[in-house]
Amino acid sequence: MGTAVKLLGTGSFVPERVLTNADFERMVDTSDEWIMSRTGIRERHVLSDGEKNSDMAVQAGYNALQAAHIAPEDVDHIIVCTFTPDMLVPNCACVVQSRLDAVNAGAVDINAACTGFISGLTHGAALVGSGQARRVLVIASEVLSRVTDYQDRGTCVLFGDGAGAAVLGSGDGGHAIGDFFLRADGSNPEALWIPAGGSNLPASANTVAERLHFIKMNGREVFKFAVTRMIELIEGAAERAGIKPGDIDLVVPHQVNQRIIQAAVERLGMREEQFYCNLEWYGNTSAASAAIALDEAVRKGRVKAGNTVVLVAFGGGFTWGSTTIKW
């Protein structure tokens, strides 16, 4: 048996600038009515020129450390979950390490698209559980506005920017976190991808002209995948906890689309109030979404002592995963 892993604190940060559905009505052929009825999204926060991913990551990480009463020098490892780092090298976690002055920490990025935060928690918990780290800061931070094609109405209305974070540790206090579950199916990468900018298709005048540095998505395929996996994840987490889905106190899902969450609620015979949703105000912030939602749920008092809280996420790759926190 390894060391019991605890969630010691959470934090989040979103940029000030807001894009409303009315803004999109001026940019592409769409309407507030279409966006609200198909997605449930009303607003998203996006970075302004000159701001960067690490600015959000640092702030969310700092807020989580404050909530956990942990000093930066007591952090043994920083994991930043993102597919939109400031640059390819150095990684975003090194930028955060330096700006937080976490002088005793290792630093690594994890890219699992929208499953990033749960992947980060899983790997961070493995370090704590195996005794290789006492305190791990897991930050999920995404700047999707820089990889969104604002000429593509099928995707641009969905995404926003933001960051969420959690501190993992061991010992007294905090909330037991476990039952980590991660899966992937990489057989269909084109369902959701950014074709260019990696080493396979480096940036060129051609890739820019063809808009290949932006997110491309088969919306219907992703929709089906998301509903199926969300149901499986919740059923699996409940079963391993020895309870029924209806007995979970709070599900904090990846904030993807209200219709996807609604479909899972109906198919599982659950109640809407069992799900914490804030996508109306942030859109889909990929890896950051479940992290921001968890922090907001905590700050709003939606999580109480004794509650069973299940985090679920699914995204590009495909990747999907869950973890359960006993509050």
**Per-residue buried b or exposed e for 1-38, using 16+ beta carbons within 10 Å of the residue's own CB:** eebebbbbbbbbbbbeeebebeebbeeeebeeeebeee
Which residues pair with residue 138 across a beta bridge? 79, 166
CA nearest to 231, candidates 268, 277, 273, 196: 268
Amino acid identity for residue 55 in this structure: D
Residue count, binding to ligand ACO (CB under 6 A): 22
Amino acid identity for residue 108 in this structure: V
Between 149 and 179, name the residue whose CB sits nearer to ligand ACO: 149
69 is an active site residue:
no
SS3 12: strand
Kind and range of the H or E run holding 325: strand 319-326
The active-site residue out of 114, 123, 156, 277 is 114
Site string for ligand ACO, 150-179 (x = CB under 6 A): ---xx--xx---------------------
Of 217, 250, 297, 310, the residue at the interface with ligand ACO (CB under 6 A) is 217
Q: Is the peptide bond between 314 and the residue preceding it cis, with omega within 30 degrees of 0?
A: no
What is the C-alpha to C-alpha distance for residues 325 and 321, in angstroms, rounded to an integer? 14
What is the C-alpha to C-alpha distance for residues 166 and 8, in angstroms, rounded to an integer? 7
CB of 300 to ligand ACO, least distance (A): 23
Give the nearest residue (CB) to ligand ACO. Answer: 219
What is the C-alpha to C-alpha distance for residues 286 and 319, in angstroms, rounded to an integer? 12
254 is an active site residue:
yes
Site string for ligand ACO, 43-82 (x = CB under 6 A): ----------------------------------------
CA nearest to 287, candidates 147, 161, 96, 114: 114
Which residues pair with residue 309 across a beta bridge? 250, 325
Stretch that binds ligand ACO, among 89-97, 219-227, 239-247, 267-275 (CB under 6 A): 219-227
Site string for ligand ACO, 259-288 (x = CB under 6 A): -------------------------x----
Assess contact for 137 and 64: CB atoms under 8 A: yes
Stretch that binds ligand ACO, among 128-136, 181-189, 218-226, 295-303 (CB under 6 A): 218-226
Q: Does 220 bind ligand ACO (CB under 6 A)?
A: yes
CB of 273 to ligand ACO, least distance (A): 22
175 is an active site residue:
no
What is the C-alpha to C-alpha distance for residues 44 and 7, in angstroms, rounded to an integer? 28
CB of 144 to ligand ACO, least distance (A): 9
What is the C-alpha to C-alpha distance for residues 275 and 260, in angstroms, rounded to an integer? 12
Stretch that binds ligand ACO, among 29-37, 87-95, 205-213, 240-248 (CB under 6 A): 29-37
Q: Does 228 bind ligand ACO (CB under 6 A)?
A: no
Of 118, 163, 192, 279, the residue at the interface with ligand ACO (CB under 6 A) is 192
What are the residue numbers of the active site? 114, 254, 284
Binding site residues, ligand ACO, CB under 6 A: 30, 34-35, 38-39, 114, 153-154, 157-158, 192, 217, 219-220, 222-223, 226, 256-257, 284, 314-315
